[in-house]
């Protein structure tokens, strides 16, 4: 897992007791998880009384860094020891690492469930219609004498009840090329599945 320099700088601020107290860190970590898991809890740190007397710019930078760390750590399924080494590099003390790990362990599974539901999956082809047309001539040429396949793919988009159509036309050579590439892709997937 690689983190940007701005995220690391924010984590160093969060790990520094001079900027964020231990009590405030616990609230900050909990707010980072809650903000990701529930939209209603997003950005509630500005109204939280735990941060009165603390520079709001530092709180916001530390919060953003913790949100990034939480999402990346959950995405890569980091264990607490790996996460502890990242936090040690950011000047967290052992007590502060334990504060973070306690909340992380409790909410990691919820984060992974949330992350698994996020994404853009490609549509699935559920049906194909095709038609063969033979062009004898067109507006530009007197004699064309060419076969053209009109293909309509019916696709199902996850989360939508309606089928969408993708239509295209191609010559016999283009269709053979497409079929060849699809067969190659299937072979590659079979090889990956056997590993």
User: In Å, how far are 20, 37, 133, 159 from 34, measured between CA atoms?
Assistant: 19, 5, 58, 25
88-104 as b/e, with b when 16 or more CB fall inside 10 Å? eebebeeebbebbbebb
pLDDT digits (tens, 9 = 90+) for 146-164: 889 999 999 988 777 888 9
What is the predicted pLDDT for the residue at 115? 83
**The pTM is what?**
0.61
Contacts of residue 33, Cβ cutoff 8 Å, sequence gap at least 6: 70, 103, 104, 107, 110, 111
Asked if residue 194 has pLDDT above 90, the reply is: no
What is the overall mean pLDDT for the chain?
87
What is the per-residue pLDDT across 39-92, written as a single tens digit (0 to 9) for each?
Answer: 777 777 777 777 777 788 888 899 999 999 999 998 888 899 988 899 999 989
Q: In the predicted model, is pLDDT for residue 35 greater than 80?
A: yes
The answer to whether residue 191 scores a pLDDT higher than 80 is yes
The tens digit of pLDDT for each residue in 167-184 reads 999 999 999 999 999 999
- Residue 16, pLDDT above cutoff 80: yes
């Amino acid at each position: 897992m690689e983190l940007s320099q701005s995220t690391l700088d924010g984590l160093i601020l969060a790990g520094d007791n001079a900027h964020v107290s231990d009590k405030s860190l616990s609230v900050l970590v909990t707010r980072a998880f809650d903000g990701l898991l529930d939209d209603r809890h997003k950005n509630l740190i500005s109204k939280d009384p735990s941060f009165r007397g603390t520079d709001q710019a530092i709180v916001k930078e530390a919060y953003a860094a913790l949100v990034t760390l939480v999402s990346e750590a959950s995405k890569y399924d980091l264990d607490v020891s790996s996460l502890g080494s990242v936090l040690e590099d950011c000047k967290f003390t052992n007590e502060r690492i334990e504060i973070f790990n306690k909340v992380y362990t409790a909410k990691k599974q919820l984060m992974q469930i949330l992350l698994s539901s996020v994404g853009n999956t490609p549509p699935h082809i559920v049906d194909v219609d095709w038609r063969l047309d033979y062009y004898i001539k067109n507006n530009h040429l007197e004699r064309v004498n060419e076969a053209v396949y009109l293909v309509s793919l019916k696709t199902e988009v996850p989360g939508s009840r309606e089928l969408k159509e993708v239509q295209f036309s191609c010559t016999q050579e283009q269709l053979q090329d497409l079929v060849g590439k699809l067969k190659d892709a299937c072979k590659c997937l079979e090889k990956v599945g056997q590993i």
